[in-house]
Amino acid sequence: MPIHHHFYLLIYPAGFIVYSCIVMLFVIILVIKFEKPYGQTNMLIYIGICSLMGSLTVMCIKALGIAIKLTFTGMNQFIYAQTWFFAVVAALCCLMQLNYLNKALDIFNTAVVSPVYYVMFTLFTIFASMIMFKDWDSQNATQIISEICGFFVILSGTLLLHMTKDTSDTSNSEQPILSETELQNP
């Protein structure tokens, strides 16, 4: 028995396969075309790569969680290639996330990188889950609109934080009170 027949039915529909291909295409474009010219000046390049890969990581970890659960119930899933495929993809996605998140944190203010990454990661993960699990099929319009409004409130706060960030530390750029000779001769 493969990992979990129900999970494969969720992954194999065209919607999720198309989403995964689009994510990989965007990541490749960001890395090849935009990283070098804009990565040092625009944190959304690095964070975009992290967030897109993060949405795939979450789905692969979900598959591994199901495989481990089934293995503990006596149906060994680690004899199937699909389980190892998800493990390898999850590891590669995690490595890419860590690499590009560290690049963003090395260059940009941590107080801005963290919330922007949180919002983008959450957005792409919700979107991937929505496609895979068809979350909104069982909700009415009011619930869906409430979720979207809540997300836009969080997004607006993060964008406001990003727009008002202080990239220079003015307290360190002030002239010293005493000169070097005054310090040597009290």
* pLDDT values of the chain reduced to their tens digit, one per residue, 186 residues: 555 555 555 555 677 788 889 999 999 999 999 999 999 999 999 999 999 999 999 988 988 888 898 889 888 888 888 889 889 999 999 999 999 999 999 999 888 888 889 889 988 988 888 887 776 778 888 988 998 888 888 878 877 776 776 544 444 444 545 555 655 665
**59 CB-near residues (< 8 Å, 6+ apart):** 11, 16, 128, 129, 132
Token pair of 91 as six digits: 């590891």
User: What pLDDT shows up at residue 47?
Assistant: 95
Residue type, 75: M
* Of 131, 109, 150, 102, the residue nearest 11 (C-alpha): 131
User: What pLDDT shows up at residue 92?
Assistant: 95
User: What pLDDT shows up at residue 91?
Assistant: 96
Q: What's the Cα-to-Cα distance from 45 to each of 21, 89, 167, rounded to whole Å?
A: 19, 21, 18
Does an H or E element contain 107, and which? helix 81-107
User: What pLDDT shows up at residue 16?
Assistant: 78
User: What pLDDT shows up at residue 178?
Assistant: 52
